[in-house]
Structure 1
C-alpha cells in the first residue's frame, strides 16, 4: 500500500553505475514509500544526457549542468549542449554547479569560470540553480550576491556548512537542501541546531542517493547504498529535531519543492 504522506527527493544520482538497470525498481520502491517524484541530478555533460533520458522514461524531473569537480572539462561546445538542454520540459534547474574548494579536482579559477557560465544560463532561462558547495561558502555567497537579483532562485544542495555559511545563504534568500548527513553522528550533528535556523519556506529534502546512506537507518541494506525510498526516514528524523509532526514537515517541504522547481 502506498504511503499517504507525500515527499519529493530533490537530489538523486539515478544514472550512477550503482543503479545500473535497476532504476524502475528503485522508483517503484520510492513511490511505495511515499516519494511521489524525484529530481535526477545532472553532474556533467554525459550524466546530464543520462538524467534527461531517465526523467523522460520514468516521468520524473532532471537538472543539467557541470559539477565543479568537472569544471576543467567545461568547454564552449559542452556548455552549449547544456544550454540546449534547458528547453527540455523535464529539466527544472541549472546544475549541479557551484564551488568545491575541499578537493579542488578542478582549480578554483576553472570552477568560478564554470559557475559564472551557469549563472548566466540561469539568468537567461529563468530556471533556478541547483548548487554544490564545499569549503567555499564565502566565495559562493559573494558570487551569488552579485547576481541574486537576476536569478529566479537557487538551492544549496546537501548543505553541510557552518552557521556563518547558513546565515549568508539565508540573507541571500536561497533554499537549503538537507540530506541524511544530518543523521551522521561523526560529522553531521552540528546541523541539529542549524536546521532550526532555516525558514520553513526555504527547506527542501534529498537523499543524494546512492551516497550518504543515513547512519541511523536500521537495519541497513547489505549493499550500503542509499535510495530515494529512505527519504521518509530522513524526514522523520528531521521532524523530531524540529519538534513538529512528520506530516507537517512533508507537506511544507513538498510545497516548497513544487514552488521552487515550478513542478506540474
Structure 2
C-alpha cells in the first residue's frame, strides 16, 4: 500500500539547507516525489510506505536544519502519482507571496579548516562557504532563493564546485553561493581615487590581506567591502589614525566598533563582566 502527501512549510526555510535536508530524509525512508522552493515557502510531494511517510513528516520538525525556523507545516493527503525517485525541482515564483530569509551566517568550522589547510583547494580563500554558513540575506535579490536570484549569478561554478553542488552526500549540496578561487569572486586591494597613493604601494606584499594589514599598521584607513556594504577600518591603537577617521566620519565622540581576535585581548583593554564574556564567546 502506498500513501502520498502534499506538504507546505513556511518560516525561515530557504538558504538554510532545507531542500538538501528533505532530500536526505526521503532517501533515508525510501520515499519518492519532489521538493522545491517557492515564494511562499517550501513545497513537497512525497509518497511511499505509510509508516515511512509518517516518520518522514515527524522528522521534518524534529530534525530540521539548525539555521532554519519552521513556522508551520501543512500536510494534505493526496492520491499517489507513481513517482519512482525523489528529486529537487526548480523553484517556483508565486506572485504576491514572500518568505523570511536567513541572515548571513558566520563561517563554520568545516569551512575554516579548509581555509587554513595548505593542501585544500580553498586554502586562504576568503569567500569559502557551504550549506551551513556564508552569505544569505545580503546577496539575495529576489525569492525563491536560488543562485540566479543572488549576486552570485554572474559567477559560473567550475566543474569541481558544480560536482559538490550536485552531490547529495556533500555538505555543499545545493549550496547556492558555492565558489572557490577558480570560479568565485576575488579580493582586490586598490588605492582610493580621492587620496594620494602610499609611497610604498609597490613594495606591499602580493597577498591582499597581508598588504591590508601592513597599511593598517602604517596608520592608513581602509574601506573594506563586505557582503553587505563597506567598513571603514583603522588601527584602534593609533591615535592619529583614529582622529582622522573621526574627522572623516564626523563623529567627534561617539564610540566606534572595535574588533579584537579573542577574549584574552579584549580583557587586556576592557572591563569585561561575566555576562559580557558569555555573550562574546557564545
TM-score, length-scaled by structure 1: 0.29
**Structure with higher helix content:** 1
- Structure showing greater radius of gyration is 2
Q: Which has the higher contact order (CA 8 A, sep 6+)?
A: 1
TM-score, length-scaled by structure 2: 0.28
